[in-house]
Amino acid sequence: MRDFDAVREQILTLFPDLRAAAARRGATATGVRLEAARDRVVDGRLTVVVCGEFKRGKSSLLNALLDEWRAPQLFPEAGEIATNTVTTVSYGPAEEITALVETDAGTETVPIGRAEIAGYVTEGANPRNGRRARLITVETPNPKLASGLTLVDTPGVGGVYQDHTAATMAFLPSADAVVFVADATQPLLESELRFLRRAARAVAAGDSLEALQFVLTKTDTGDFTAILANTRDKIAAALDRPADQVVITPVSAHAKRDYLEGGDEEDLELSNFGEFEARLWTALARWRIRRLLGGALLELESSARALLVPITEEIEALADDTKQRVADLTAQAEQRQHRLTELRQDSASWRRDLAAQTGDLGRSLTATGQRRLDEVWHVFITEYLRDDAYLFHPDRLVGQLTADAAQVIGELNEQAARAAAQLLGDFTDRHGLDLGSARLGRLPAPDVPPLRFSGDLYQEYRSDPVKRRLRDVSLGGGIGSTVGGFLGTLLVPIPGVGTVLGAALGGLLGGTAGYRSSRQDEGRAERQGRRQSLQQELRPVEAEQRRHVAGAVPDLVREFSRAMTAELDSRLAREQETLRDRLSRLAAAREATEEKARLRTAELTAEQAPLIAVRERIAELTSVIDG
């Protein structure tokens, strides 16, 4: 984490000088892009989801990770089932805690204090979630979160809170890391292994298998050698991996708490939290940190070039007594100006190409979504209907099917985000929309920026942090869509896309609530008859899931398309102002006398020096995060 913080802070120090240079030059588009890129680094979120069965020590693990040991804790640990509601914790300058609560009229966001958290999230204080709490959101000035780390504590994956399991499954493909928690007091259950198989598939959708981390808690209770080996073997079998490739980090939250209370370094060593944090940040660095910080470096490089090219060309023009270089550079700029005018027109071919390719993407995602739902309902027939835990508990069965479909939506979101980033990079290269600069090192394609562009750039982009935090939240008419809207916001920070995902997920969560409640008290019947009955009665659920997934894809692709178009238009605007600067400087160089050329060259040399220094620093930092 310290390495990430250091590089992040060094990257942030590069923005002020470039923004000041852009302001002096009247480079509005460049300045706005720099402001947006800086805010993305400042607001950049690294999300870690902690999941596992009830009473495995998830809450204790999170408290220890955040050095939380004084009561009242952010993650209450007491009770037979400590956590029954999803809790998210991220950094904020002052502690603010809210509870999203279901009401007869919809939902209500209730400000609460730290001491009140247990009354909403623990089974002992809130049996079977009688207070209808759906989400606890915490912002707190904990320094361990200052880098943008967001921790998500989830209820037990095999329990009765199926809406939360669905929300967890939808989010896993886009999580930056997933920590699966087992403990040293009991072996893994089949329900955990079943969840783990689904979680591994979800994480794989993000192209980073290292993002799935395994932790064995409660290692202070005795010799854990045998249970560690048993847990490793079960995970290896469940994921079809060699056992020596399954890395499980044993930790003791109790020992970490002893260290925090007494300061004994032996307790810290016994807790093994140093190794856990190191592995977690290594997993985060594999992909997400490179993409988050790499995107900022790419924008810094492009903006520095946009400011530097006109200066460099003016120096070249002033050095040529024959004025031939001025003529050549002017001709090149005018030719590019003509091409840029074509590219900025609404009828430009790249807009049609982009529409065609996003259409292809939409069709591909739709086919993938339906194929994945085929798999979900095949498992329903071949596995779930043969499992008494589902066969005699239709509410649990429908909840599981909802979780499976929610995972499909999460996977489609991640695939769409990756495809959009690649498509944006290809368009940039193909149409020369980034001053011809090559990508830095081996950095991955950055995310599509959440930037709306039209008309007055300064009016279009506002840095109000409250607006940035709220811009994607979609509060629908029911509790399902409300929780879905929040999950949509976490899934992707592009205006509109989070709303679309939230609506789709919300429909899945809310659409089966009536069925679950109506079937809950039905008595046991003969197995085969029940299977046939459930197949018949759940056909509308399958049809509804297919409708939700099919309906979400076009909206999802449309929002990504809008974001990509806005980004490309923004790059065109930046190049337009760079070309105006180039032509103005070249015209002045054409008329300069020898003495004026000498004096002007000295001024320009001083002006370009800090820009060259910034580019050198960008290259150094790129090698650090690309290594």
Phi, psi of 92 (to 5 degrees): -155, 150
SS (H, E, C) 82-126: CCCCEEEEEECCCCEEEEEEEECCEEEEEEECHHHHHHHHCCCCC
Tokens 């009955």 locate to: 533
Convert the pLDDT of each residue in 242-287 to its tens digit. 999 899 999 999 999 999 999 999 999 999 999 999 999 888 877 6
- What DSSP designation does 13 have? T
Convert the pLDDT of each residue in 494-513 to its tens digit. 445 455 555 555 555 555 55
pLDDT tier for residue 308 given thresholds of 50, 70 and 90: very high
Tell me the average pLDDT across 389-408: 84
Convert the pLDDT of each residue in 178-222 to its tens digit. 899 999 999 998 888 988 888 888 776 555 567 889 999 999 988
Tokens 């339906």 locate to: 370
Statement: residue 462 has pLDDT above 50: no
Statement: residue 177 has pLDDT above 90: no
Strands 248-250 and 212-217 come out as: parallel
State the CB neighbour count (10 A cutoff) for residue 11. 24
Phi, psi of 512 (to 5 degrees): -110, 5
Tell me the average pLDDT across 112-131: 85
Please give the pLDDT value at position 504: 56
Phi, psi of 232 (to 5 degrees): -65, -45
Please give the pLDDT value at position 460: 37
Statement: residue 491 has pLDDT above 80: no
Please give the pLDDT value at position 446: 60
- What whole-number distance in Å separates Cα of residue 500 and Cα of residue 485? 8
- What whole-number distance in Å separates Cα of residue 328 and Cα of residue 310? 14
For residue 162, CA distances in Å to 186, 346, 374, 411 come to 23, 47, 21, 19
Statement: residue 439 has pLDDT above 80: no
Statement: residue 598 has pLDDT above 50: yes
CA 80, distance to chain mean position in Å, is: 33
Convert the pLDDT of each residue in 514-547 to its tens digit. 554 444 444 444 788 888 888 988 988 899 889 8
For residue 615, CA distances in Å to 401, 482, 488, 608 come to 52, 45, 36, 11
Q: In the chain, what are the domains?
A: 44-286 (3.40.50.300)
Statement: residue 444 has pLDDT above 60: no
Please give the pLDDT value at position 563: 86
Tell me the average pLDDT across 297-313: 94
Please give the pLDDT value at position 351: 86
pTM of the model: 0.77
Convert the pLDDT of each residue in 313-326 to its tens digit. 999 999 988 889 99
Please give the pLDDT value at position 179: 93
Please give the pLDDT value at position 287: 67
And the tokens for 40?
């993305």
For residue 125, CA distances in Å to 101, 120, 591 come to 15, 7, 82
Please give the pLDDT value at position 627: 65
Please give the pLDDT value at position 201: 80
Cβ contacts of 299 within 8 Å, gap of 6 or more: 33, 34, 37, 446
Tell me the average pLDDT across 4-11: 88
pLDDT tier for residue 459 given thresholds of 50, 70 and 90: very low
Share of the chain above pLDDT 90, in %: 39
DSSP 309-362: HHHHHHHHHHH-TTSHHHHHHHHHHHHHHHHHHHHHSTT-HHHHHHHHHHHHHH
Convert the pLDDT of each residue in 336-362 to its tens digit. 999 888 888 877 788 888 889 999 999
State the CB neighbour count (10 A cutoff) for residue 615. 16
Convert the pLDDT of each residue in 516-525 to its tens digit. 444 444 444 4
- What whole-number distance in Å separates Cα of residue 420 and Cα of residue 291? 14
Through-space distance between the first and last CA atoms of the chain, rounded to whole angstroms: 16
Share of the chain above pLDDT 70, in %: 80
- Most distant CA pair in the chain, distance: 101
Convert the pLDDT of each residue in 94-103 to its tens digit. 999 999 888 8
Q: In one letter, which amino acid is 372?
A: R
